[in-house]
Structure 1
Amino acid sequence: MTEYDTDLVLPDTVRTELRRGVTSVLVDTAALRQVRERFDTEQATALGRYLSASQSPNTVRAYRTDWIAWAAWCATENRCALPADPLDIAVYLAAAADARTPDGRHAYGPATLERKSAAIAAVHAANGLPAPTRSDVVRLTLRGIRRTRRARPNRKRPILLHTLGELLAGLPEPGWPGEPARRRDTLLLLLGFAGALRRSELAGLRLTDIHFGTDHGTGEPLLLIHLPTTKTDPTGITEQHVALPRGRQAHTCPVCACADWMRLLAAHTGGPESLRPWAEEQSVTDTHIHRCHGYHPDPRLRPEQPLFPAINRHGGLGTSAMSGRAVAELVKRYAARAGLDPALFSGHSLRAGFATQAALGGAADREIMRQGRWSNPRTVHRYIRTADPLADNAVTKLGL
């Protein structure tokens, strides 16, 4: 049994826990019930809300899935899930490491198994129990799995400048009903590439995070993007910003793409029924002419609305933002339209493409790190080696 089965068979004891409505495996719900006995409902609800927000939804979702799998295994093997015996965890991880998919591949990689171990430790910590995963038998089991299962990381292919052009060539035709998706997707692809943004960062942007400015050195317009939270700064305490200058060419200019999208959003403020006539009146934009000079955001736009809302196939704009997964699926969809294998690309392909293309263009490490907000030079060096394995390599000085 694997946790990705569509029809997961869970023991009744596990299903009972799920029916209680526990949304986070990292919060001790028993302790929260005691809080409700000592404080009023409003105070207890506030505490529970902030405790639940202490971890990202993705982390909670992954840990919850891992805990369900562990609890199901324990119920099947007649073992105790909480508190857990370190030897039971080691046996569970070893069995998971040997599990295979129907096509014969390993079901779980070493990183996934380490996450499973971390999930078990997190639940124990949430219940005031010591982490059984710190024992030697668990640590050595994971070390043995890593040594035995040596494999290259399955990294997605970076989207380079020429690949970006192929993706943009697959945009919907101008006019209705494809105009909203055409403008939104153009901006999303250009921001993700030029800004080295993660898919979660793209999905989390709001209109209030986008600012139009001027490059005082050239007088040209630019975009300033404020990232409220990031993967490495979930609380937003460092106030990370990304600057995007005007592009050399209008069809790949992120400032023009943002101005075009803002104009459509402003037209949508008159109601969904007003958007179609507006889109049909728009003439085909000359891709050789910049449209970002002199643009000023429309005061009718609501600052808190998502920058990238969901759009249905009829051209209707939703009120909720795209998810990070939807961003990745968008990249895959345009890769497929360009005749590329969508399995080779993901949302990270835009961020990786920025670093690789910048390295090919001769950008210094610190320049790439600044725009991509990387703190570890080794991460950037990996992209540089991908772009040019002979760059800064002493083998070129051997005189062979």
Structure 2
Amino acid sequence: MTDQEGELTRPDTSQLSKLPDGVTLEDAEEVAELANEDRRPSTRRVYESKWRLFTSFCEDRDAEPLPATPEIVGVYLKERAKEVSLSTIRQDVAAIRWMHERHGSDDPTEGAGVSRVLDGINQTSSPDDGRGQKQAVLTKHVRAMVDALPLEGPGRNAGPAARATYLRALRDRAIILVGYAGAFRRAELARIREEHVTLNANGMEIFVPKAKTEPRTVGINFARNADFCSVRSLRGWASAASIEEGPIFRAVPRSAEIAPDNQAEPITGKTVRNVIGDAAEAAGLNPEDVAGHSLRRGHLTQGALNGAELNRLMKQARHADPRTTAEYVEDAKRMETNTSRDLGL
């Protein structure tokens, strides 16, 4: 028997008569205890955190995570391959396989379809850098992206198209700055609601009720430069769009008539990706190298470069495994920590 977290549970004494011939209740309990030790505690914690990521993805797709179909696993791995390394994807597969085995379900990763997806990822990625892993957008890039937005206010007699361009620029500036300052995933950023934002003397806190791991609250301080302040930018956008509740990031139609609070729908993660890619291109960056994850990756990389401690970066990103955060730190400080200078060449 297994519980919802995948732990094998002790048999109920009421089920004693249903035990197989020759198996006592004590046998069954001891077998369950041994089965729960099939992985080291550290490995189980990693698998459990990766399983939570997969279940969250399935919830977003209205798919069943257990038992999962090979098709949804293939889609999940395809999406993960855009942001993480091949070694991380292999851990994802191991975690999905492990949880299904523990529940006595067929392993969806064994199918030929999933194998072909993995082969494709393997052929188009390097072991260290991953397939399609995007550029870390650093502070200098973020400033250039914001500067490239058409933030000049429309004239008094401007038509709806000009007003829409200005409103969209206000929204896009807030998306870029809040995403970067908060190290948000693009789906989290798209779903921020006005009622989840709390201002305080130092900046703001944003509650994230639906995250890949668990609900969390993200703190963001006022920036020293008002032009690049995520707190001021978010309030400026909300005020201009007359947002008092509901999704804070909304579509801006050509009519410049933004949906009222009682009718508003949030933008999608795809919209976040497009906003970041368009701003990056306008700033002279290669849009093929920049995506929604670039802001989050950039926050952790820039923070590491500026001396932020690993535990603070991990807490900000809400990484379940410190090794995930450490990868960003190692990437950022590679030129400081490599040993080529010690070879006497």
TM-score (norm 1): 0.55
Contact 1:203-1:324 within 8 A present in 2 as well: yes
Question: Residue 246 of structure 1 is aligned with which of 201, 218, 222?
Answer: 222
Q: Which runs of 5+ in 2 are unaligned?
A: 1-54, 76-85, 155-162
- Pairwise CA distance, 1:364: 1.1
Cα distance change of structure 1 residues 64 and 167 upon mapping to structure 2, 3 Å threshold: farther
SS of residue matched to 2:231: helix
Question: Residue 205 of structure 2 is aligned with which of 204, 219, 224?
Answer: 224
Whether 2:235 is the aligned partner of 1:259: answer: yes
Cα distance change of structure 1 residues 320 and 367 upon mapping to structure 2, 3 Å threshold: same
Aligned to 1:24: none
Whether 2:144 is the aligned partner of 1:157: answer: no
Whether 2:189 is the aligned partner of 1:202: answer: yes
- Pairwise CA distance, 1:262: 2.5
- Pairwise CA distance, 1:339: 2.5
Aligned to 2:310: 365
Q: Counterparts of 1:68 and 1:363 in 2: how far apart (Å)?
A: 35
Cα distance change of structure 1 residues 338 and 373 upon mapping to structure 2, 3 Å threshold: same
Question: Residue 248 of structure 2 is aligned with which of 307, 320, 323?
Answer: 307
Q: How big is each residue's C-alpha offset from its partner over 1:268-287, in whole Å with a ceiling of 9 and x where there is no partner?
A: 7xxxxxxxxxxxxxxxxxxx
Cα distance change of structure 1 residues 166 and 121 upon mapping to structure 2, 3 Å threshold: same
SS of residue matched to 1:243: strand
The code of the aligned residue for 1:174 comes to G
Cα distance change of structure 1 residues 201 and 134 upon mapping to structure 2, 3 Å threshold: closer
Aligned to 1:166: 144
Number of matched pairs:
260
Question: Residue 292 of structure 2 is aligned with which of 332, 337, 347?
Answer: 347
Q: Counterparts of 2:312 and 2:341 in 1: how far apart (Å)?
A: 24
Cα distance change of structure 1 residues 390 and 60 upon mapping to structure 2, 3 Å threshold: same
Aligned residues: percent identity? 25
Contact 1:66-1:116 within 8 A present in 2 as well: no
Q: Counterparts of 1:192 and 1:69 in 2: how far apart (Å)?
A: 28
Cα distance change of structure 1 residues 61 and 112 upon mapping to structure 2, 3 Å threshold: farther
Aligned to 1:182: 169
- Pairwise CA distance, 1:327: 0.7
Q: Which runs of 5+ in 1 are unaligned?
A: 1-51, 71-108, 216-221, 269-300
Aligned to 1:57: 60
Cα distance change of structure 1 residues 145 and 214 upon mapping to structure 2, 3 Å threshold: same
SS of residue matched to 1:261: helix
Structure number with bigger Rg: 1
RMSD of the TM alignment (CA)? 4.3
- Pairwise CA distance, 1:177: 3.0
